[in-house]
Amino acid sequence: MSMRIDNIRNLQTSSYRRCLRVTLFLFVIQLFAVSPLWAGNDDKIVVPKLKINPGTTQQLVIQLTNEEEYTAFQAEIYFPDGISPVKTDDGYCVSLSSRKTNHTISANIVSDGGLKVAAYSMNNESLKGNSGDLFYIDIVSESTFEGPKTIEVKEILFTKTSDRKEIEFADASGIVDNHMVILGDANGDGQVNVTDIVATVNKIMDKPSADFNFEAADVNMDGFVNVTDIVGMVNIIMKGSGAREMMEVLEEDFDD
Ligand SMILES: [Ca+2]
Ligand SMILES: [Ca+2]
């Protein structure tokens, strides 16, 4: 009889322990789920490298890679000596990419010298997509600008669409340089497009233009500039937009 009671007691104790273990497990899971440290996961701001010639204006691109859906954000951008945001009578030239829905963006220089931007939607709609350009800032370089220099993005705050919780992002930075070689930019104007293919064909035909940049044209970096590098340039352009336009211009250029 006492053995039977012992068995029942043992059973009760073990099921009690199991229950305790499960409760503890669920508690830990919940801790991770509600912790703000984990809520933002890998979402981040990216600033791609930018080439800017001294004394010129360029568009700085700020990108967002995200898993969560966000409706609003704010951030502060800090420019190095020799680089500043373009200001017109209408204010700073900051614009949202096609990832906006009905969002508005505002920008102004704040007391510590940073350009503060804030974007929101009038009916709390989400920003579209999960990667790529988020917004653009027109920047101008002084005639004495000498790179490479760093552009920093700080105090980055995003608001989730679902529960309106704030997510603090890690700071981001990008390089701005006047010497940078952009692979495929054979004529050194800061962009890779059909004119670089024309410049490279001219080089292959032994009639290179004055602005031809060998290092940029050697897309596969094998020390030669030939038709394989043109294939590489076509790939680079195809990944961007304007592929159709490129084909039309190419047909015109090679017909004569
Ligand atoms: Ca170019
Ligand atoms: Ca090559």
Side-chain-side CA neighbours of residue 215 (13 Å) = 5
* Helix (H) or strand (E) run with residue 133 in it: strand 133-141
pLDDT tens digits for 10-34?
555 566 666 567 665 655 555 444 4
Q: Which ligand is nearest to the CA of 213?
A: 1
pLDDT tens digits for 91-124?
999 999 999 999 999 999 999 999 999 999 999 9
* Helix (H) or strand (E) run with residue 4 in it: helix 2-34
CA of 216 to the centre of ligand 2 (A): 10
CA 210 to chain centre: 33
CA of 230 to the centre of ligand 1 (A): 13
Q: Which ligand is nearest to the CA of 186?
A: 1
Structure tokens at 113: 């010298």
Average pLDDT, the chain: 86
User: Sign of dihedral through CA atoms 173, 176, 177, 183?
Assistant: positive
Q: Which ligand is nearest to the CA of 184?
A: 1
- State the Cα–Cα distance between residues 70 and 171, nearest whole angstrom: 18
